[in-house]
Amino acid sequence: MTENAYLVGLRLGGKKVVVVGGGTVAQRRIPLLMARDADVHVITRAATPAVEVLTTTNPGITLELRDYRDGDLEGAWYAIAATDDPAVNAAIVAEADRRQIFCVRADIAREGSAVTPASFDHDGLLVGVLAGGEHRRSAAIRTAIREAFQQGLITAEAPDDVTPGSVALVGGGPGDPELITVRGRRLLARADVVVADRLAPPELLAELGPHVEVIDAAKIPYGRAMAQEAINKILIDRAREGRFVVRFKGGDPFVFARGYEEVLACAEAGIPVTVVPGVTSAISVPAMAGVPVTHRAVNHEFVVVSGHLPPDHPESLVNWNALAQLSGTLVLLMAVERIELFAEVLMSGGRPAETPILVVQHGTTAAERILRTTLRDAADRIRADGIRPPAIIVIGPVAAFAA
Ligand code: SAH
């Protein structure tokens, strides 16, 4: 009876578990059972494609496409009745009772001898919630607790990935604080020191506790052109003091963000360093403005280009003439200041002047501004509208797609 269920953890490694049914319940349960090395037997008249993939790609699990028969629970330690037929589910529970096997009944939970808690896994910690059969309540409480963990309101001890004296390079996503990864958010919540870039989402910094030292990377004192060395030095010095340092960046740490230089600097200094990829602005800012960087039969390439140097600069590594020959999507970062030069070299190299352009300033934030124009008019329009960095410039047919 779920109303007063006794909460327990089952060690299912190597033990036979029978799942009857191949729908969404089975689809959610099977991966969790497999993660615990259970000997999973799935019996179902029909399986969803996801269940089929799960069962065919995992040698340790059997799938029989047929109706349930009395006797199927032979040798099982645990069973899940998850067919769409209440009479069949009742028969499975009856067989389980006869054999003294605990059995979950998916359609009418209180009729089963076991009940599945709403649960989540966090840093090797398993949290399960039962609410006397009120599924929405248990799911809501589960979600609230999980969010509290993710925001660092509750902290769990001893994860392997937070080593005192180490550095994590965390991609913060394009600006919207919800677009950081789950791991990034978790590590940020554990930081002793955060070295943040301008473009890292400020809302996430505001959530940090008062004990966390937050360093604005743009304000680290340094001699001219020494900014990166100064940042590297801070990361290494703080880690050497035994603290867990998060280097917090906008977008992805390896997309025009000098992340790999920091990895190398830490490695040379013998400081353990991990990288948490982020959602890059190059893809997500257009996406949130309604523009996909690729679309079937429209383009087969998208190229992300840095515009921090003019085309004729001796240190430029960009072949603008080659880019001008492409018909796909160009995504320009750091290109607002020199858009005149880039538009010119693309047009003279062969890109049609009518090519659609989307410009997004402060994408995914409350300050977002969007401009739609063409290659011919881009420079004038960007100046007339007063578009300033940070902005993304998307060039190509997809840029004309309506939001
Ligand atoms: N590592 C970052 C890019 C750093 S380069 C990433 O993966 O997103 C900095 C440039 O990124 C800015 O000049 C701008 O071109 C672009 N950018 C970053 N965030 C942006 C945002 N929210 N809106 C528009 N452009 C953004």
* pLDDT tens-digit map of 347-390: 999 999 999 999 999 999 999 999 999 999 999 999 999 999 99
Please tell me which residue in 39, 72, 192, 197 is annotated as part of the active site: 197
CB burial class (10 A; 0-12, 13-18, 19+) of residue 173? buried
Residue 175, sorted as left (phi over 0), alpha (psi -120 to 50) or beta, turns out to be: left
Residues spanned by CATH 3.40.1010.10 within the chain? Answer: 167-279
Beta pairing, strands 302-306 & 273-276: unpaired
> Which residue's CA lies nearest to atom 25 of ligand 1?
391
pLDDT at 183: 92
Catalytic residue status for 219: yes
CATH of 283-400, one of 3.40.1410.10, 3.30.70.20, 1.20.1440.230, 3.30.950.10: 3.30.950.10
Tokens 């940070």 map to which residue? 390
pLDDT at 46: 93
Average pLDDT of the chain is: 94
CATH code of 167-279, in short, is: 3.40.1010.10
> Which residue's CA lies nearest to atom 24 of ligand 1?
391
Closest atom of ligand 1 to 332 CA is 15
Report whether residue 284 contacts ligand 1, using a CB cutoff of 6 Å.
no
Nearest to 394 by CA among 179, 346, 256, 176: 346
DSSP 258: -
Catalytic residue status for 121: no
Report whether residue 152 contacts ligand 1, using a CB cutoff of 6 Å.
no
Q: Which stretches of the chain drop beneath a pLDDT of 50?
A: 1-2
Residue 229, sorted as left (phi over 0), alpha (psi -120 to 50) or beta, turns out to be: alpha
pLDDT at 387: 97
Residues spanned by CATH 3.30.950.10 within the chain? Answer: 283-400
pLDDT at 162: 81
pLDDT at 219: 83
pLDDT at 337: 97
Report whether residue 280 contacts ligand 1, using a CB cutoff of 6 Å.
yes
CATH code of 2-116, in short, is: 3.40.50.720
pLDDT at 174: 98
Output the CA 390–ligand 1 centroid distance in Å.
6
